[in-house]
Amino acid sequence: MRSYRTALLLLATLTPLPAQEVRPKDVREIAKAGSSAIPRLQELLKNPSLDIRIEAVKQIIEIGTQYSLDPLILATGDNDPEVQIRATDGLVNFYLPGYVQTGFGASLRRVGTGIKGKFTDTNDQAVDPFVMVRPEVVSALGKLVRGGGGMDVRANAARALGILRGKAAVPDLLEAAHSKDTGLIYESLVALQKIRDESAAPRITFLLHDLDQKVQIAAIETTGLLRNKEAVPNLIDALNRARDAKVKRAALTAIAMLPSESSRNLYSQYLRDKDDKMRAAAAEGYARLRNPADLPMLEKAWQEEGKTQPRLSLAFAQVMLGKTEVSEFSPLQYLINNLNSAAYKGEASPFLVELARDNRVRGALYRPLQAGTKDEKIGLAGVLAQSGDQASIPELQKLAQDPDPEVAKEALRAQRTLQARF
C-alpha cells in the first residue's frame, strides 16, 4: 500500500498541471514526495501565481535537504518581497535548523498589496565557525542587501549574512550602511560585528555621530569590536557629547577595547563613577593597558566594589595583569563561578575568551574544565573553542567522555570549532 502511494506521489511530481490549474494544496501534495519533488517545486517558482510561488518556497524549505539550496537561491531573485524574505530565511534554516520558526518570515502578514513583519530584538545567532556556507548562498544574499524588493527584504538579508558569517558580502553590507534606512543600517552593522572583518571598520566611522541612537550605539560597538584604533578621537568626542547613558557606556566600552595610554585619564575619571557600567568599562580599559603598576589600585577597587558587573571587569583586569591562579577567592575563579549565572555568564565568557589567549590562563582553565559544574564545563569548552591551541584538543577530547550528554556534546562541538581554526 505504501509503495503504491509513493508511486502516485512520484507521478504527481512528474506530471505538471497547467499553470492556471495549480492550487496551493496541489503544491503541498507534490511536496509529500520529499527530495524527489524538488525539481517540480523549482518549476513552480516560475508560476505566475504569487500564492503558488510562496507555497513552493515553503515546501522547499520544509524538505530541507542540500537539494533545497539551489531553488531557494533562485527564489531570492523573485520580484515579490515575501518570496525573497522566505527564501532568505530558508537559506539560513539549512545551516541553522529551526530558524524559520523565529526569523522575520515567521511574522509576515499581507496588508493590502504590501507585507508587514517584525524583527526579533535578539540578534545574537551565528553558525559555528566550522560550518562551510556555499559561496553562491552568500552571493545571493549580498545581492538582496544591495537591491532586494524593499527595505525589510534588504535588512533581513543583512541579518542572514551576519548569522552565516558571510565575509564575501562585506562590501554589500558596507554599501547598505551608507543607506538612509535605519533598520538596514543597524542590521548591516550587527552583521559586520559577527563577521569580524577588521578592514571594514574605517568605512563606518561616520556613523559614530548618527542621530539615531540605536544606529549610533551599534556603530560604536562595531568600531570597538573591529579594533579601529584610529577612531579613538571620534569615540572620545561621542563620549563627551553624549547626553544618553547608553551612548556614554557604549563609547567608553569601545575606547577600552582600543588600548592607548592617552586614554588613561578617562579610565581614572570613570573608575569611581556612580554608573556601574561606566566603572566596568574603565576597569576593562586598565586591563588592556597591561601595566602591572595598576594592579594594587585595581585590587583595592575590587575589594570595595559591591556590584557584580564592575566586579567582573575588575576581576578580568587583575587576571590580565598577572593574577592567573585558580583558588577559592581568586579573580579568575570569580569569572569561572559566574558561568553558572544566567544573568552574568554573557559577561564572564567573553572575558575568559580574551584571557585564555594567554598560555598561563589557558593552562589554569584545564582543571576546572574537567572538575567544574555542568555550566562551567560547557562555558569553558566554548572559551577553548575560541582561544585554545593544540594542547587544548586532548583536554576537550577528555571532556567529550563526560557522563552528562550535554557537556559531551558541547565538548565535541568545541573541538570541531578549534580544529577548524587550525
pTM, full prediction = 0.90
Q: Does domain 324-422 have CATH number 1.25.10?
A: yes
Q: How far apart are CA 62 and CA 304, in angstroms?
A: 56
Angle at 396 (CA atoms; ends 390, 402), nearest 5 degrees? 165
Q: How confident is the model at residue 19 (pLDDT cuts 50, 70, 90)?
A: low
Q: Helix or strand or coil: residue 384?
A: helix
Give me the percent of the chain exceeding a pLDDT of 70. 94
Cell numbers found for residue 368:
576546572
Distance, CA of 324 to CA of 337 (rounded, Å): 15
Helix (H) or strand (E) holding 349: helix 345-355
C-alpha grid cell for residue 1?
500500500
Distances (CA, A) of 266 to 209, 215, 239, 269, 271: 20, 24, 10, 5, 9
Question: pLDDT band for position 119 (50/70/90)?
Answer: confident
Q: Each residue of 42-62: pLDDT tens digit?
A: 999 999 999 999 999 999 999
In this prediction, residues 63-85 reach a mean pLDDT of: 96
Closest of 41, 42, 46 to residue 29, by C-alpha? 41
Q: What 8-state DSSP symbol labels residue 32?
A: T
Indicate if the pLDDT at residue 112 is higher than 80.
no
- H helices within 211-343, ranges in order? 213-225, 232-241, 245-256, 264-270, 276-289, 295-304, 308-320, 331-337
Domain boundaries, the chain: 324-422
Q: What is the pLDDT of residues 291-327, one digit of tens each?
A: 999 999 999 999 999 999 999 999 999 999 999 999 9
Q: Share the mean pLDDT of the chain.
A: 93
